[in-house]
């Protein structure tokens, strides 16, 4: 369990250092890895990375780079120098772009003296099968045979799952360390690409009735479509899980983290 606690990455989805600091204080000594994404980095920049590092915790810099190879190479190198432990890019940027990202990370690692994992975003966990068909295959909704709304599990996510596996294969060919993917894709990716190829799983939701408020924030909390509980995600082979609103939107984030631990322990 101790080992798994270090594999829980908490998303610092805030717009100020003050809010981020409040959460870091509340979870001090109980959480070890934080994710800094668009909101905090756009608002506060490199100071947000320093803040987390000052608490002795690791940083997943979730800026999902997607640009021409040279630009991504330079961006990743800069991100690595800030002290990020995991950096991500979009796999759909292609092999040359991903290789450039890896080169940037290796150069930054060499300078900083630590290992930096470069992982690729495959298919966003907010995209359903219908969304994937529409975005990547140009199919109109009326032309799509869709799985039942209530159906759960990998079978309901065939198209997303196939695309995620394909993009993960490209990431592996490019020499990346792993991918961000939904728990539904983790098993297939591990079985095909090997246990050492890391999977990082967001879209984590507790199944208990009173857990967190992740489902109702500003009407946007239900944006995640391919979700799993913490236990299910680790059981499906995830190396790390990313937990956002289940903790950040809870009245008592420390208690919410306790619920996550309890779920994993069951």
**Does residue number 243 form part of the binding site for ligand C5P (CB under 6 A)?**
yes
Binding mask 95-134 for ligand C5P (x = CB under 6 A): --------------------------x--xx---------
Tokens 């270090």 correspond to: 6
Give me the phi and psi of 194, to 5 degrees please. 100, 155
Closest to ligand C5P by CB, 69 vs 203, is: 203
How far is the C-alpha of 209 from the C-alpha of 60, rounded, in Å? Answer: 30
**Contacting residue, 83, 178, 183, 202, with ligand C5P by CB under 6 A:** 202
Q: d(Cα 238, Cα 226) in Å, to the nearest integer?
A: 14
With binding defined as CB under 6 A, does residue 230 bind ligand C5P?
no
Spatial contact of 91 and 170, defined as CB atoms under 8 Å apart: yes
Per CB under 6 A, does 40 bind ligand C5P? no
> Of the listed 7, 58, 64, 74, which one is catalytic?
64
- Among residues 31, 132, 180, 193, which is the contact residue for ligand C5P, using CB under 6 A? 180
Residues 211, 206: Cα–Cα separation, whole Å? 6
Cα 109 from Cα 15, distance rounded (Å): 28
Which residue has the closest beta carbon to ligand C5P? 244
Residue 36 backbone dihedrals phi, psi, to 5 degrees: -110, 120
Binding mask 55-74 for ligand C5P (x = CB under 6 A): -------x------------
Minimum gap (Å) between residue 12 Cβ and ligand C5P: 8
How many whole angstroms separate alpha carbon 228 and alpha carbon 232? Answer: 6
Q: Is 245 in the site for ligand C5P (CB under 6 A)?
A: yes
Distance of CA 106 to the CA centre of its chain: 21
Tell me if residue 172 is catalytic. Answer: no
Distance from C-alpha of 146 to C-alpha of 158, rounded to nearest angstrom:
10
Q: How far is the CB of 186 from ligand C5P (least distance, A)?
A: 12
Q: Which residues bind ligand C5P (CB under 6 A)?
A: 11, 13, 37, 62, 121, 124-125, 180, 202-204, 214, 224, 242-246
Which residue numbers are catalytic? 64
């Amino acid at each position: 369990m101790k080992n798994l606690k270090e594999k829980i990455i908490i998303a610092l989805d805030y717009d100020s250092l003050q809010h981020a600091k409040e959460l870091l204080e509340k979870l001090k000594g109980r959480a070890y890895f934080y994710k800094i994404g668009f909101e905090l980095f756009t608002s506060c920049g490199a100071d947000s990375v320093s803040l987390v590092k000052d608490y002795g915790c690791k940083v997943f810099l979730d800026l999902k780079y997607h640009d021409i190879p040279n630009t991504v190479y330079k961006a990743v190198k800069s991100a690595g120098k800030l002290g990020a432990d995991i950096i991500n890019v979009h796999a759909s940027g292609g092999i040359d772009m991903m290789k450039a990202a890896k080169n940037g990370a290796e150069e930054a690692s060499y300078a900083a003296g630590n290992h930096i994992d470069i992982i690729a975003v495959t298919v966003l966990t907010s995209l359903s099968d219908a969304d994937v068909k529409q975005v990547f295959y140009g199919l109109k909704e009326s032309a799509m045979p869709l799985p039942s709304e209530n159906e759960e599990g990998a079978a309901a996510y065939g198209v997303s799952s196939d695309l995620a596996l394909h993009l993960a294969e490209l990431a592996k060919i490019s020499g990346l360390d792993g991918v961000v993917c939904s728990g539904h894709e983790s098993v297939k990716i591990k079985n095909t690409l090997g246990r050492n190829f890391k999977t990082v799983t967001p879209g984590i939701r507790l199944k208990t009735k009173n857990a967190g408020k992740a489902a109702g924030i500003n009407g946007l909390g239900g944006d995640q479509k391919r979700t799993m509980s913490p236990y299910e995600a680790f059981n499906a082979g995830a190396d790390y899980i990313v937990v956002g609103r289940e903790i950040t939107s809870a009245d008592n984030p420390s208690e919410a983290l306790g619920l996550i631990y309890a779920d994993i322990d069951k």
